[in-house]
Each structure stands twice: as structure tokens, then as C-alpha cells.
Amino acid sequence: MPEREQKKKSAPKERARETEEVEAAPPKQAEALKEELDDLLDEIDSVLESNAEDFVRSYVQKGGE
């Protein structure tokens, strides 16, 4: 599909740049990103329902629409 190839090339520069930045992140920055993610997961841990198995099992809805 040659037309599609053309489209890919004309993709917005911003997005391409964003992706490159992520790929080219220096080790220090990658470390910071990982720490940030770990913090977020810890934060999410603190709001998660306490018993995953029980909660998932008892989560039942009636069909709708």
C-alpha cells in the first residue's frame, strides 16, 4: 500500500519526537520514570479493594440495554 507509506511519513512530528525521546531516554531519566511508576503502583495498592478474589467473584451485574 504505497499511499499508506506516504501517510506514515507525514505523521505529526510531535508524536514522532515524543516516541524518540522515550526510546532515547538516558539511564538516569529511565530510573526516575521507574521510581515514579513504582510510587504510582504503591499509591494504587493503597486504594485497591482488599480481597481481590472475593471481590471479583462477588462482582455480578444483571444484563442491560
By CB under 8 A, name the binding residues for another protein: 1, 3-4, 7-8, 10-12, 15, 18-19, 22, 36-38, 40-41, 43-44, 47-49, 52-53, 55-57, 59-65
The CA distance from 54 to 34, in Å, is 31
The CA distance from 40 to 46, in Å, is 10
Q: Which is nearer to another protein, 28 or 57 (CB)?
A: 57
In contact, 59 and 65? CB cutoff 8 Å: no
CB of 42 to another protein, least distance (A): 10
Cell of 6: 506516504
Q: Which is nearer to another protein, 28 or 56 (CB)?
A: 56
